[in-house]
Copies of this chain bind each other. A is one copy, B any other.
Amino acid sequence: MVSDKKDEFDLRVFLPYLLNRAAEESSLEFQRAYKDRYGMLRTEWRVLFHLGNYGEMTAKEICERARIHKTKISRAVSKLEQRRYLLRKRSYTDRRVEMLTLTAAGQTVYRELCDIAQRYDEKLAGMFSADEVALLRQMLRRLADMV
């Protein structure tokens, strides 16, 4: 007799769940770097990294690239400014817009965190073969809609 019982759903293969769990787990160690060492929140390091990675940007551009809501960006920018990690400069072609750049201090922190990130990434990547990791990154980028 053929089983007509619908395949039971298994939480542990559900992609959104797996992705979230993997993301949470793999963020923990790196989080300590920016949180414990620099008292930064996740959004703050994301802003810092975007400015470090892409140079001068506006809050709007960071919102779009990082897919973070503008209120979170706004608060993260204030915090980073307070800590003298970034400078705001009003665009004088459009005075609603602020150009954001890292200060020397911000760049130093950025580089330090980059080093930590890179080492940590290598550690994670080391769990798999080079081909596997390449495929993983590619698939994640597609899922993240960063194609």
| Chain B residues with CB under 8 A of A127 | 142-143
Instruction: Name which of A70-78, A94-102, A128-136 contacts chain B.
Output: A128-136
In the assembled complex, the Cα of A53 lies from the Cα of B13 at a distance in Å of 12
Do the beta carbons of A27 and B16 come within 8 Å of each other? yes
Q: Are A15 and B146 in contact (CB under 8 A)?
A: no
Q: Is the CB of B9 within 8 A of A19?
A: no
| Majority secondary structure of chain A interface residues (helix, strand, loop or mixed) | helix
A50 in contact (CB, < 8 A): yes
Residues of chain A in range 16-36 having any CB-CB distance to chain B below 8 Å: 16-27, 30
Is A83 on the interface with B (CB-CB < 8 A)? no
Query: Known: A15-B124, A139-B128. Contact between A25 and B117, CB under 8 A?
Result: no
B141-A18 in contact (CB<8A): yes
Chain B residues with CB below 8 A from A146, complex form: 12, 18, 21
When the two chains form the complex, which single residue of B22, B118, B143 contacts A144, counting CB atoms closer than 8 Å? B22
Q: Could you tell me if B12 and A141 are in contact, using CB atoms closer than 8 angstroms? A: yes
| Among candidates B13, B53, B132, residue contacting A137 with C-beta atoms closer than 8 Å | B13
Q: Is A64 an interface residue (CB 8 A)?
A: no
Greatest chain B CB density within 10 A among A22, A67, A124, A139 is at A22
Residues of chain B within 8 A (CB-CB) of A132 are 135, 139
Is A145 a contact of B25 with CB atoms below 8 Å?
Answer: yes
